[in-house]
Amino acid sequence: MMLWFIQPLRAAAKALTSADSPRQMAAGFALGMMIGLVPKGNLTAILLAVLLLSMRVNLATGGLATMLFAWVGMVVDPLTHHVGGLLLSHPNLAPLWTWLYNQPVVPWTAFNNTVVMGSCAIGLWLLLPVYLVTRPLFAHHQPLLVERIKRYRLYQVLFGADVVTSWRTA
């Protein structure tokens, strides 16, 4: 039986040193960016998190990007409020917003909130550029990071813990 406090450290090390492709890591980072920008506590954030967890992407980079862009999202709230206000008050889109709001589940997405709408719009607008920028970065830096992490004694202890805990003395 592995000690309870080793499991999260081992999962983090395994996620960072996994053999995921740069494409999977960049996609996880881009989705995490979008989750981080969107305010939490609504169906939109939950659906984006389910999308991240259900796709074949690197969850470590997605979680890291979510935490990073949650802080960025607070800083850019005035911008997202402005963009959301422009989208929600556009006269040509008013029938669409009315129709969506009258649907059974859609109001739980909080799309009528200017910050949620603006952050979704900015997140969608940035999704492809973030993916295209991070993919070559992960392709170049992941092998170096894996090599560096595997040299640390903590990594060796974490992955040697299974062997040690499975030994039984008679």
**Each residue's pLDDT tens digit, 30-45:** 999 999 999 998 999 9
**Is residue 54 a contact partner of residue 27, using CB atoms and an 8 Å limit?**
no
pTM of the predicted protein model: 0.78
Judge whether residue 94 has pLDDT over 70. yes
Q: In the 8-state DSSP scheme, what is residue 21?
A: -
What CA–CA distance (Å, rounded) separates 122 from 22? 24
